[in-house]
Structure 1
Amino acid sequence: MDASRSIRRRLGDQADANEKRLKAGLEDAGEPQPLHFVLQGSYAMRTTVQHPKNDYDIDDGVVFSREFLKGAQGADKTALDARKMVCEALYDDAFNRVPEVRTNRVRVYYNEGHHVDVPVYRMENPDSESTLYELASSDWKESNPEAVTKWFQKQLEAKHLSEEKDGHHQMRRLLRLLKNSPLAVTAGTCQAVSSSPCSRTRNIRPINSVRIRPFTIFSRY
């Protein structure tokens, strides 16, 4: 089952609170403010499904200008230093578990069971066609935080059926179904579903090659 509106609203509110806490923490530490935030993953693509243990994952990337993301001596901050900076700014005494620096992100744990992942990006040439995004991973690596979500939206628009209501795309429902199956859904699965001719039809052939009518499976959505 897809995540209810109330769950999405709560997760969205906590992502907003996380952003405000990060901005305040950076200001207190005398660090640069982010240019903007980029929601990513299942929350941004609206494919979040209900989890019995509230183990939801919100991906909310933070983007800084490379021009201002400098160390004490004026050199570029390393990828690790940038993640540490964000982690320290996100700290809150109310957390039972402190934020954690991970390889590609900073993770913030919530008492309810879910977490917010904050990938850290730096950006060059923001107002030109040669804009460059880099992710703070083991080193700075080129990575566009908006690319996957924009690709997914284009797939939705390309495969939208005239009889579908806006916001209730069959491809999105297929992904939710796969997430609730024993199969793990990855970006590759997402691409396979979006490119499959089955996602254009009223009848699909999912797991075990059983023909099922989507409007029966997804009637609760």
Structure 2
Amino acid sequence: MHTLNQDPRDDNDYDIDVALLFQRNALPEDPRAARQRVADALGKRCTNFTQEPSARTNAVTVWYAEGYHVDFAVFRSYSDDFGREKIEHASTDWKERNPQEINDWFRKAVATKSPSLGLLTKVPEGQLRRIVRFLKWSTRSRPSWSLPGGLIVSSLVVECYRPSFERDDVALYDRVVALRNCLALDSTIRRCTIPLIDPSSRPTPKSQTK
């Protein structure tokens, strides 16, 4: 999605998501066992952890000594009886889900909602992506704040985005106002293309894992 920021608090507490796609016959049929196999492999091949890789509900999480952590979501691919490719995510069960869909959804939103280049456009292309990046940075700028993660922020920005053909700061302000108004009427966060991660399954903050 290209919306990653440097940590505004300078403590390297990055949350990086990686999709691992395997052939179906390369993983156990039990999704929990599949996640555990990946966790065991990471534990054997990688170093510099603050704790051993953990096979969590939706991903295998690795905490690094530098401060950041990586969530490895495990997927399997196979062809069904009609020759169609199926991709499933190892969650509580094997759930059909294509990890590429979220990137395709966001790229399409950036392309269709951002101001198009033209005589009246004074901002570079891709304004929506920059607004998402600004807001994601802001949500992590205060240690005392407990705000939604990046995917939720991205979904809300896309839903409430108001373009400005002249200035990014105007688009940012208008988006914040629109977001406030939207959430005042309805605080439901609609999914974009895939179910959002259950907040209860998110990794423990770094400060609690040392």
TM-score range, shorter chain: 0.5 to 0.7
Contact 1:121 1:135 in 2 (8 A): yes
| C-alpha contact (below 8 Å) 1:178/1:184 kept by paired residues | no
Runs of 4+ aligned residues of structure 1 deviating over 4 Å after TM superposition are: none
Quick one: which of 32, 45, 57 aligns to 2:15? Answer: 57
Partner of 2:37 in structure 1?
85
TM-score, normalized by length of structure 1?
Answer: 0.62
Provide the aligned C-alpha RMSD in A. 2.5
Determine the C-alpha separation between the residues in 2 that align with 1:197 and 1:87. Answer: 39
Q: Counterpart of 2:131? A: 174
What is the number of equivalent residue pairs in this alignment?
156
1:72-221 to 2 correspondences below 5 Å: 77-91=29-43, 92-125=46-79, 130-160=84-114, 161-162=116-117, 163=121, 164-165=123-124, 169-182=126-139, 184=148, 186-196=150-160, 198-199=162-163, 201-202=165-166, 203-204=170-171, 205-208=174-177
* 8 Å contact kept, 2:54–2:61: yes
Deviation by residue 1:92-133 (Cα, 9 ceiling, x = unmatched): 35433211111100011111100111000111129x873211
Q: 1 CA distance for matches of 2:30 and 2:24?
A: 11
1:197 is displaced (CA, Å) by 5.7
Could you state the TM-score of these two structures normalised by the residue count of structure 2? 0.64
Contact 1:178-1:185 within 8 A present in 2 as well: no
Runs of at least 5 residues in structure 1 that lack an aligned partner in the other structure: 1-44, 71-76, 210-221
- With over 3 angstroms needed to count, the CA separation of the structure-2 counterparts of 1:93 and 1:143, relative to structure 1, is same
Task: Report Cα offsets for 1:161-186 as digits up to 9, x if no partner.
Answer: 315445xx211111122223355355
SS at match of 2:88: strand
Unaligned runs of at least 5 residues, structure 2 = 140-146, 179-210
